[in-house]
């Protein structure tokens, strides 16, 4: 996982704040007297898995470096509605101006962590891992991936550099699985190679070519079980991943079919944000 920190994190968060604030927070500047101080708490209004509190804290700190902050829930903890997540106090104007960006990130990250935990619990006891994908909104990938980890999932490749992943269009344009794998091995020596397969013939080609990982895409659990059995007859079996419209009601069947991992794009491309609010009081 590539986690933003330090100056890189601040740069990304400042860009988010700039987008949200514009030239000036007219409402806060017009209604809240200068020097006003406030205290408050971030509260989970829905059951969720906690993720993103350090990010939310940093958003507030960028506008109020003297912010006081106390976390009340740990990353990865499952909390009930009405649970306080953190307590804060500081300059009222700064906290109000930063509120929306902090909450947007926190709610999204808690939502992703919550969805991930549900998938992790669905495959519990099988040894199968739950992976994320690159189906993230531009600019949010580091936050989304951290949330997946907080939910108990595992990160797939961060970007296009980390792994060769030969999909249908690559196979077609390269002239088939064998040619694509050979070209990848020559053009990116030492880089792990994963091949997406959608037929038993493609599976056989990928195994013969010595792919490190096989991605079985858009197949039934029964087909995944059969193809996993074939792949595991190899002297050095590849890592086996299943993907394609993974749902909570079907994912365990894929895990029991023998996949080492299932990749779930919905964790990040169809986020249902957790309900988290900021309640402020006079200091």
3-class state of residue 207 by DSSP: helix
- When divided into structural domains, the chain yields a total of 2
Are residues 164 and 261 located together in one domain of the fold?
Answer: yes
Identify the CATH number of the domain in which residue 112 sits. 3.90.1170.20
109 is written with which tokens? Answer: 């990250």
pLDDT tens, N- to C-terminus, the chain (283 residues): 467 889 999 999 999 999 999 999 999 999 999 999 999 999 999 999 999 999 999 999 999 999 999 999 999 999 999 999 999 999 999 999 999 999 999 999 999 999 999 999 999 999 999 999 999 999 999 999 999 999 999 999 999 999 999 999 999 999 999 999 999 999 999 999 999 999 999 999 999 999 999 999 999 999 999 999 999 999 999 999 999 989 999 999 999 999 999 999 999 999 999 999 999 999 7
Is 1 domain-assigned? no
Active site residues: 100, 135, 167, 196, 217
How far does Cα 214 stand from its chain's mean position?
Answer: 22
Answer whether 241's CB lies under 8 Å from 261's CB.
yes
Same domain assignment for residues 126 and 217: yes
Query: Looking at the structure, do residues 137 and 254 belong to the same domain, yes or no?
Result: yes
Strand order across the 276-282 sheet: 68-71, 83-91, 37-44, 276-282
Indicate whether this model's pTM tops 0.75: yes
* Alpha helices (runs of H) in the chain, residue ranges in sequence order: 6-21, 26-31, 53-63, 92-122, 141-150, 168-174, 177-187, 200-209, 221-231, 251-256, 266-269
Q: Name the residue range of residue 21's domain.
A: 6-120+271-282
CA dihedral 225, 228, 230, 235 (to 10 degrees): -150
Instruction: Find the CATH number of the domain harbouring 170.
Output: 3.20.20.70
């Amino acid at each position: 996982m590539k986690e933003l920190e330090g100056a890189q994190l601040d740069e990304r968060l400042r860009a988010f704040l700039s987008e949200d604030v514009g030239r000036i927070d007219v409402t806060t500047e017009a209604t809240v007297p200068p020097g006003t101080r406030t205290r408050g708490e971030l509260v989970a209004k829905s059951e969720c898995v906690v993720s993103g509190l350090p990010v939310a804290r940093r958003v507030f700190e960028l506008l109020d470096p003297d912010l006081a902050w106390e976390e009340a829930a740990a990353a990865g903890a499952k909390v009930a509605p009405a649970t306080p997540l953190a307590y804060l106090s500081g300059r009222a104007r700064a906290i109000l101006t930063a509120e929306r960006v902090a909450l947007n990130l926190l709610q999204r990250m808690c939502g992703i962590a919550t969805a991930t935990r549900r998938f992790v619990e669905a495959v519990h006891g099988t040894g199968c891992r739950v992976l994320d994908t690159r189906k993230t909104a531009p600019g949010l990938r580091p936050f989304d991936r951290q949330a997946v980890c907080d939910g108990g999932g595992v990160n797939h490749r961060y970007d296009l550099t980390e792994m060769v992943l030969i999909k249908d269009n690559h196979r077609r344009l390269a002239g088939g699985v064998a040619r694509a794998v050979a070209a990848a091995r020559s053009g990116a020596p030492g880089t792990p190679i994963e091949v997406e397969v959608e037929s038993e013939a493609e599976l056989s080609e990928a195994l013969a070519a010595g792919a490190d990982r096989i991605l079985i895409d858009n197949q039934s659990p029964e087909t995944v079980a059969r193809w996993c059995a074939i792949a595991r007859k190899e002297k050095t079996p590849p890592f086996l991943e299943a993907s394609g419209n993974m749902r909570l009601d079907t994912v365990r069947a894929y895990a029991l079919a023998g996949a080492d991992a299932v990749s779930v794009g919905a964790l990040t491309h169809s986020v249902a944000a957790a309900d988290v609010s900021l309640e402020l009081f006079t200091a």
